Amino acid sequence: MISENEIKKKICETSLKISRDYKNKKLILIGILKGSFIFLSDLSRKISIDHEIDFIAASSYKGTSSTRELKITKDIELDINNKDVLLVEDIVDTGNTMSALIDLFKAFRPNSIKVCSLIDKHERREVSIKVNYSCFSLEKGFIVGYGLDYNEKYRHLPAIYDLKL
């Protein structure tokens, strides 16, 4: 559905915007594991300004249906107080994961919190959240590859594929 080249091109554009917007700020990228690991590593290497990197493992998913419960299995390790947090996600679907994470991180009083998602998927959105940087927009469907999985499979695929169930 989305080729390696298209992904590469969009990541260059997005990281350019981020490098401009966060100039003179204390940027910290927080990747939501596991889905964002490939996206974050490519994005980070194209960002031209200094930044810190951390990860949180959180999921609200089983198979293709959201359980709505946020489970944190690995917390961040860096201090985000007074930093400019950019949450890096593979795909925002219902929005439940992202909105719960934003609420959680707000408690540590960062300077700002914004969202960068490889894919912004609209059909099943339940909570209105602002995706500040999104590489691709998707109306509906279930996709895999480039970090995105179906029951832990297909994350390694270099491009993005539509999963026919």
Annotated active-site residue 79? The verdict is no
Residue 130 beta carbon to ligand IMP: minimum distance, rounded to whole angstroms = 13
Residue 81 beta carbon to ligand IMP: minimum distance, rounded to whole angstroms = 26
Dihedral angle sign, alpha carbons of residues 67, 36, 124, 145: negative
| C-alpha distances in Å from residue 133, one per residue of 31, 51, 119, 163 | 14, 17, 9, 24
Interaction residues for ligand IMP, span 124-143 (CB under 6 A): 142-143
Tokens 């169930």 found at: 165
End-to-end CA distance of the chain: 15
Question: Is 146 an interacting residue with respect to ligand IMP (CB under 6 A)?
Answer: no
- Binding-site partner at residue 51 among Mg ion, ligand IMP, none, CB < 5 to 8 Å by type: none
- Token pair for 92: 């925002």
Set 84, 90, 93, 120: catalytic member? 93
Question: Is 35 an interacting residue with respect to Mg ion (CB under 5 A)?
Answer: yes
Residue 15 beta carbon to ligand IMP: minimum distance, rounded to whole angstroms = 20
Q: How large is the greatest C-alpha to C-alpha distance in the chain, in angstroms?
A: 46
Residues interacting with ligand IMP, by CB under 6 A? Answer: 35, 60-61, 66, 89-98, 121, 142-144, 148
